Chain A
Amino acid sequence: MGFLDALLGKSKLPKAKVDRLFAISTASITLDVNLGLKPGGSAGICFKSMESSRYAAARLEIEELLQYSCKETGTEYRVQKDEFNYLWVLLKDPDFEDLVTNIHLISQTLIEQDFSEQLLCAIYRFQGESTVYWIYNYKQGGYYPFVPKGDHQRDNNLEFRLRSVMDSELPIEKNVEKWYPLWGIPF
């Protein structure tokens, strides 16, 4: 948002960046070797639904695509709304590579459908002693770790450790203030 845009009160939403989304696939090996975190077999995309008939059409298209692509890779999928009225596309697949491929495919489709601005994040779940989520923020084009524990608490220690271990492999969001929590991730 440039100064002139602010002066004119021009509202623009940043577009989604997907180029670094793939980084997680190599990082998963390091996560396993160094931290004992295994892919949890599930991932998801969270985006804001809109009110427009075109959106409904796009949603149908995404469902069709999911059906087709998930049959290829043997991935299970589910689409659901959360309490904040955001839509989730949830994927389940023991093969991590397939998850990454599908997440990328859906992201691309949403962007092609011009939902670039509505994409919030993609999330991968990892399982070790605790459940760890790697959240990809589309607007920033970076990952950050999220380790929920108990009622609206997060394990900051582990999150910082994850950052220091993965810093060279993942494009990690540098500004810690943008490590927004997502409570009640549905997978």
Chain B
Amino acid sequence: MRKWNTDWGLQGRMLFTMFLLAAVYLFFLAFLSYQGAGMNVMIIFIGGFMFIQYFLSDKLVLMSMGAKVVSESEEPQLHEMISRLCAMADIHKPRVAVVNSSVPNAFATGRSPKNAVVAVTTGIMKTLTSSELEAVIAHELSHIKNRDVMVMTIASFLSTVAFFLVRYLLFFGGGRDRQSGGIMGVWLVSILVWVISLLLIRTLSRYREFSADRGSALITGAPSHLASALMKISGIMPRIPTDDLRKVEGMNAFFIIPALSGSSIMHLFSTHPSVEKRIAALEKLETELEM
């Protein structure tokens, strides 16, 4: 019984993305320091702001989503499911929260496995079967295990700085510009850095999703559960006929899920890979499992 190998393609792409991001940031920092003072204060200020955000990430997200942390006696089934998954993956059991919403969704947050929260909506608990829910939760646990909050916070730090600069210079103009064409130059470079880094961050984010999908398949041993959960959540499921083949006549049985022709530019900026791509990746895992 062979387990999945590391997906070196994914790892390589992820490393390359991080490398590019680091390169863009280094260039940005060098450029800013060349422009002289005034920038440092701002970087420290934004740094502090992001640090607080990072430190309170779990509380902030819970508050903004209206998630309520539930005890074991309130949601025994959910708790036990999560306990078992944590024991399998050997991670610290996160707090469990429920959002009262009919939208089927789940998320995880927290700067480290020690103070993480995993949350599900009441909608998702109604929509999915228990094994599908388990797969979704395993996906969220993988996010925690991979410290995605930390990785993405670090990745987006200077991008935020660039974004602030773009806005700030637009309204106030620079302070003292020593270099000729200073403000305009800083502004243009900031825009450039912001756009490129955003692209890279979003790419990284999509790779993290693929990683978490892999993690889910690994923990549950069943890639297809996550695939069907994704289908259900994204609303593709209702298109698949449930009628017996013998009941439907002739060609009607051959359903086609139309390929979503989302514009490619939108894909570049999305945080999640398309459901089709994720399902394809999961199916590949499924085949690996059988080989």
Q: Are A178 and B87 in contact (CB under 8 A)?
A: yes
B160 in the interface (beta carbon within 8 A) = no
Quick one: given A9-B208, A11-B215, A84-B134, are A181 and B80 in contact (CB under 8 Å)?
Answer: yes
- Kindly supply a per-residue 1/0 record for chain B positions 71-83, scoring 1 wherever the CB is within 8 Å of any chain A CB and 0 otherwise: 0110010001101
Q: Are A53 and B290 in contact (CB under 8 A)?
A: yes
The count of residues in chain A whose C-beta lies closer than 8 Å to any C-beta of chain B is 41
The count of residues in chain B whose C-beta lies closer than 8 Å to any C-beta of chain A is 51
Q: Are B134 and A55 in contact (CB under 8 A)?
A: no
Smallest Cβ-Cβ distance to A53: which chain B residue: B290
Q: Output the least CB separation between B129 and chain A (Å).
A: 10
Q: Are A14 and B90 in contact (CB under 8 A)?
A: yes
Question: CA A120 – CA B2 in complex, angstroms?
Answer: 18
A-B contact number at CB 8 A? 123
Q: Are B290 and A152 in contact (CB under 8 A)?
A: no
- Kindly supply a per-residue 1/0 record for chain A positions 26-52, scoring 1 wherever the CB is within 8 Å of any chain B CB and 0 otherwise: 000000000000000000000011111
Quick one: given A48-B220, A114-B2, A180-B93, are A84 and B84 in contact (CB under 8 Å)?
Answer: yes
A183 in the interface (beta carbon within 8 A) = yes
Question: CA A55 – CA B92 in complex, angstroms?
Answer: 28
Question: CA A113 – CA B73 in complex, angstroms?
Answer: 37
B148 in the interface (beta carbon within 8 A) = yes
Selected contact of A139 from candidates B14, B73, B88, CB within 8 Å: B88
A137 in the interface (beta carbon within 8 A) = yes
Q: Output the least CB separation between A111 and chain B (Å).
A: 10
CB contacts (< 8 Å) of A180 on chain B: these are 83-84, 86-87, 93
Quick one: given A52-B289, A53-B290, A84-B84, are A10 and B1 in contact (CB under 8 Å)?
Answer: no
Pairs A–B under 8 Å by Cβ, sample size 12: A6-B150, A7-B147, A7-B151, A9-B211, A51-B222, A51-B224, A52-B1, A58-B1, A84-B134, A85-B131, A86-B84, A120-B84
Nearest first, the 4 A-B pairs at minimum CB distance are A9-B211, A50-B221, A11-B215, A114-B1
